[in-house]
Each structure stands twice: as C-alpha cells, then as structure tokens.
Amino acid sequence: MNEIIVSGMGIISALGYGVEENLQTLLKEKSGIAQLHYLKTTRTEFPVGEVKMTNEEMLSLLNISTTEPTVRTALLGILALREALQNARLASTKPTSANPIQKKIAFISGTTVGGMDMSEQFYLDFLENDTRNEYISTHDCGTCTEMIADYFGFFSQVDTISTACSSAANAIILGAQLLKNGCADIVVAGGSECITKFHLNGFNSLMILDTAPCRPFDASRTGINLGEGAAYIVMETADSFNKRVQENAELKAWCKLSGYANTCDAYHQTASAPDGEGAYLAMKKALEMAKLAPAQIDYINAHGTGTENNDLSEGTAIMRLFGEKIPPVSSTKSFTGHTTSAAGCVEAIIAILALQHNFLPVNLNFSNKIPELSFMPVTNSKTTVPLQHVLTNSFGFGGNDSSLIFSKR
C-alpha cells in the first residue's frame, strides 16, 4: 500500500501563529485560555482560547482590502493554509501562465459556524436596511471554505465537512481516501472555526461551559472552554512525495498517516454513550487499518473536553481497548480551548509535534483522578520519550467519532 505522507502543516490558535510558535508555547506549558476579548458580547464570564488578532490585523497580514466582505473563520483558515502550503513547498499564491499548477490539489475544510460571526453582527441591518447585504452570502459553511480556497486559486477540488467537533478529522479522512483512490495528487485537509455568540450561547444552554480554566480528566471538571483557530495538513502518497523531494531537497516528511476510522453510535444528539462504544470502535478500527496492536500506541491525544460526560465516556473506551497497558493520555484543550470544528486538525498537529520532538503534551489543570478510571493524564512533559505511533481522537455531536494514527516514517 502506498503510504500517505504528511508533507506540510499550518496552524493558528490561542497558542500563537505558526507551527513553531505553537510548539514552543506547548513546551513552556503556557495556556492560551484567557478572558474573552475579541468577540463583542456581554457573556465575559467564560474564559476562552481566542486567537490574539483582530480581523483588521489579519486582513493586513494577508493584504486583503478592508472593503472586501470577509469573515473571521475564513481569515483564520487562510493564514493556516498559507503556512501549510509554504511548509510543503507548494505555491501559496495564485498560479500564472508562467507558473501554472500541474498537479491535482484538493482542499477539504471542516467548519460549523462558517460566516456566522458577521451574520450575528449585521443581522439587524439585514432586517432594517440594505447596508450590509453583501454579508448575507458569506454566512454558510461552504461559502467560507470557498473564500479560503479562492485566496490561493489553484485547487482542483474544494469540499466542506460539517460534523461538529469531528469535522477537521473527517476532512483528513476524506482527503486520505481521495489519495488512495487516485482522485487527487495532493490533499490539504483540516478545519477552521471562530468563536461566535452562537457558539457561546449554544454551549451555555447545554450547561457545559466552565467559568474557570477547564480541567479535562479531573474529578472536579465542570465543562469546556471554547477556543478558535485553524489548522491544515498537506498529505500525499509516498510516490508523489519521493518525486517532489527530488525537485526540492528542503521538502520534509513530518510523518505518515497510518490509520484512521470514523464511527457513529447515534446515542444522543449531544452526549457520548456512557460505555464509549463509538469512541472504542473508532480507535479499534484505526488500529486495525494501521496493523498495530494497542500496546504499540505511545501517546493518545484525547478528545478530552472537560465535560463530565465526555471524559468518563472516552476514558471508559480507552480502558476497554488498552486494558492494563494504557499509554500516556492527555487533552490539550486546556491549552487551546475547544476549537470545535477545527479541533481534529489542531490536535493532530499537536500530536505530530509530540511525535517529531518526542515529548508528551501535559494535561493542564489536573489535580484529582476520576474514580471510575484506572489512569491519570500526563502532568509532566519534561522527560523526553521515544514516540513511534500517536493516536488522536475527535468526537462530534450525534456520536460522530473519529480517530487518527500518525507514525514516524
């Protein structure tokens, strides 16, 4: 089987802009969660993981006119995608007749809110006057993905995935399938999501937002901290990568995507099944694809939202699959906040960085073990550990559960 190589990465999150800044902030064990600042709302009692840039600052970085209708999700996505393309030594500007794009490059992006931030801001204008009507068409998820793709202008295929918090992971899975079936030469996959009032009020209505920094896998956990950001990985077959590396010796293979799976237990609209059935099956099937035994997984980047339901359900699934030899487990949402539709790729990149640099991301704010679980999360990242295979989980509403396994090449 032709291996799927990860040849580029790009990320922007509450930890900073770029792969290197995110890595260094992780190593310093510094959370990006703080009091809400950029979203204009009265609900400031909930700490969040915001990207520390205004829309105007992002427009300036990207040389986009302030008069052009844009949304925050798209701006975050363009920044992350630009880094991923540069990292993979692919053109990050629109092709010309003198410099055409010769390959079929697909772009798969996950999002749920799309352009909702501007819809919220200008809703009364839509109703009462015609001054902001250009933003009506920027609302939906697909348009947001097209805005990101159009900035670069060379993708042969553009798709949007919206499966809530597993969206970006499912974008990666779809991208891998396109490569395996010969539908694309290269795939850029991940997700982008900004914080909106819809997000904030919606999760608050479910009574799962924490007014303190979140505490995944802690017995005292009471909910999530929302986050925002964007992340994309560039994937290609080993044949494609080997040909391109002959043309550009600076091209780097970060790792390979060795296994993946998506399941749906359909247990509840928002809650995970108490027995963790969907999570268990997703991890089990990913291991089977990778032809790995559970004992070969060296680290699990858990979905770990910090809610009472998720952490117990996911922990139960981990215990069921890994038995008495549970690998190190941590949730990095205590660093970034829950970036919802972008989380699957934000956390995939964090897992890949751990794999590359042989460290275990810590589970911040942990104090007390969950009595029903046999394990505790990672609390010390100072020790260098040899990592060969890492697993990352992303679980969405409706029981749409996905697991990815990345391995050193």
Is 396 part of any domain?
Answer: yes
Is residue 268 flagged as an active site residue?
A: no
14, 111: one domain = yes
Domain's final residue, options 193, 222, 247: 247
CATH classification at residue 368: 3.40.47.10
> Which residue among 139, 199, 338, 389 is the active-site one?
338
**Could you tell me the CA-to-CA distances from 237 to 1, 8, 325, 367 in Å, in that order?**
10, 13, 33, 43
Q: Is the per-residue pLDDT at 103 higher than 70?
A: yes
User: Which residues are CB-neighbours of 249 under 8 A, at least 6 positions away?
Assistant: none
> Which residue among 141, 144, 165, 255 is the active-site one?
165
Domain's final residue, options 217, 247, 277: 247
Cα-to-chain-centroid distance, residue 139: 21
Range of the domain at 312: 258-407
58, 195: one domain = yes
> Which residue among 139, 199, 303, 389 is the active-site one?
303
Split into its structural domains, the chain has a count of 2
pTM, whole model, 2 decimals?
Answer: 0.94
60, 92: one domain = yes
Is residue 214 flagged as an active site residue?
A: no
- Mean pLDDT in residue range 65-87: 93
Burial call 201-230: b when 16+ CB within 10 Å, e when fewer = eebeeeebbbeebbbbbbeebbbbbbbbbb
111, 146: one domain = yes
214, 265: one domain = no
Q: How many helices (H) and strands (E) does the chain have?
A: 12, 11
Is 353 part of any domain?
Answer: yes
221, 274: one domain = no
Is residue 345 flagged as an active site residue?
A: no
233, 371: one domain = no
Is 227 part of any domain?
Answer: yes
Of 80-94, 203-217, 314-328, which gets the smallest average pLDDT? Answer: 80-94
355, 277: one domain = yes
Burial call 379-389: b when 16+ CB within 10 Å, e when fewer = eebeeeeebeb
301, 238: one domain = no
89, 223: one domain = yes
In percent, the amount of the chain with pLDDT more than 90 equals 73
Domain's final residue, options 223, 247, 271: 247
pLDDT per position as a tens digit, 260-284 = 999 988 766 666 777 778 899 999 9
pLDDT per position as a tens digit, 280-311 = 999 999 999 999 999 999 999 999 999 999 99
367, 280: one domain = yes
